[in-house]
Amino acid sequence: MIGPVLGLTGMAVLFIPGILDPVLRFLFPGAGEWVFPRSSLLSLAWMHLLISLTAGAVAALIGISLGIAATRPSGRAFLPLIRDASSLAQTVPPAAVLALAIPFLGFGFEPVLLALVLYSVLPVLNNTLTGLETLPEPVLEAARGMGMSRLQVLMRVELPLALPVIGTGIRTSVVINVGTATIGALAGAGGLGSPIVAGLIRDNPAWVFQGAMASALLALMLNALLKAVEKRLQPANIRET
């Protein structure tokens, strides 16, 4: 409970200018301008959250789909290729993806979404593979022995049992996106990277502080929320221990 309480307290300070302004004046007396003037921090946080969650949803869809395909008998031959391709995608810096994508997609939401998806699909894929490959074989044999088809075994047995592990991968992916989405300001997508970039250009640490702290607190809040969802997805006997 401590994490969410700290996150809510920090968010309240950051999103209420009457509280934020004296705090910034105390921390950065020589800044000249304190509260970021171009847009409210609340609207920037909303844009940041939208970009991060959209990229997380797309990464989850891709990662889970690839994980399921790679663990089927017909797809196991492609498992090394899938792992290598997803690992390679994460080694490419998101800023480099932006630089390559902007000439084709233009400035705005699309190139940032592409960069975030490529960077965050690996945790979902790895956890999907781990969750599906470590299921107890007797449970799967029992499901097949009951006359279930392959699709029924997947939907009724494999995915429900692997869901807590997959959920951890999705949570990791979303938290990565929240931190990385600050690069969206470089492509004109807004978000909490805007005060960071503007602060660096104007040599204003107060603006940098606002964007960095809001992004960190947003990641903290989402991590706590998704962790609670993961706990609810776990079997009752595991939650009680």
Q: Tell me which amino acid residue 181 is.
A: A
Orientation angle between helical segments 205-233 and 193-202, nearest 10 degrees: 160
Q: How many domains does the chain have?
A: 1
Q: What CATH code is carried by the domain that includes residue 70?
A: 1.10.3720.10
The answer to whether the beta carbons of residues 120 and 180 sit under 8 Å apart is yes
Angstrom CA distances, 16 to 21, 101, 189, 191, stand at: 9, 36, 24, 18
Quickly state the pLDDT bin for 12 (edges 50, 70, 90).
low
Is 224 domain-assigned?
A: no
- Reported confidence tier of residue 241, pLDDT bands at 50, 70, 90: very low
Supply the pLDDT for residue 98.
85
Amino acid at 133: E
**Residue 65 in this model has a pLDDT that exceeds 90:** yes
Q: What is the pLDDT of residues 75-99, one digit of tens each?
A: 777 878 887 887 777 777 888 888 8
DSSP label at residue 106: -
Q: Is residue 212 part of a domain?
A: no
What local confidence, expressed as pLDDT, does residue 53 receive?
A: 94
- Average pLDDT over every residue of 195-202: 92
- In the numeric block, the tokens 């209420």 are attached to 16
Helices (H), the chain: 2-15, 17-27, 41-70, 79-91, 94-105, 109-133, 137-145, 150-153, 159-180, 193-202, 205-233, 236-239
Residue type at 22? P
d(CA 227, CA 204) in angstroms, rounded, equals 35
pLDDT in the model for residue 88: 79
- More confident: 27 or 1: 27
Q: How far apart are CA 113 and CA 111, in angstroms?
A: 5
Mean pLDDT in residue range 205-225: 90
* pLDDT higher than 50, residue 238: no
In a domain, 225, yes or no: no
At residue 4 the predicted structure's pLDDT band, cuts being 50, 70 and 90, is: low
Mean pLDDT of the chain: 85
Give the structural domain span for 98: 59-190
pLDDT tens-digit map of 136-178: 888 888 888 888 888 889 998 999 899 989 999 999 999 999 9
- 226 falls within a domain: no
- Write phi, then psi, for 40 (nearest 5 degrees): -70, 150
Residue 236 lies in a domain: no
Neighbours of 15 (CB within 10 A): 15
Q: What is the pLDDT of residue 6?
A: 62
228, pLDDT greater than 80: yes
User: What pLDDT, on the 0 to 100 scale, is given for residue 237?
Assistant: 45
* Integer Cα distance of 84 and 189 in angstroms: 30
The confidence score (pLDDT) of residue 139 equals 87
66 belongs to a structural domain: yes
pTM: 0.86
Residue 7 has pLDDT above 90, yes or no: no
Q: Please check whether residue 31 lies inside any domain of the structure.
A: no
pLDDT at 9: 67
pLDDT for position 236: 56
Residue 207: pLDDT above 50? yes
Give me the phi and psi of 165, to 5 degrees please: -70, -40
As given in the structure block, the two tokens for residue 188 are 């004109």
Residue 221 located in a structural domain: no
Proportion of the chain above pLDDT 90, given as a percent: 29
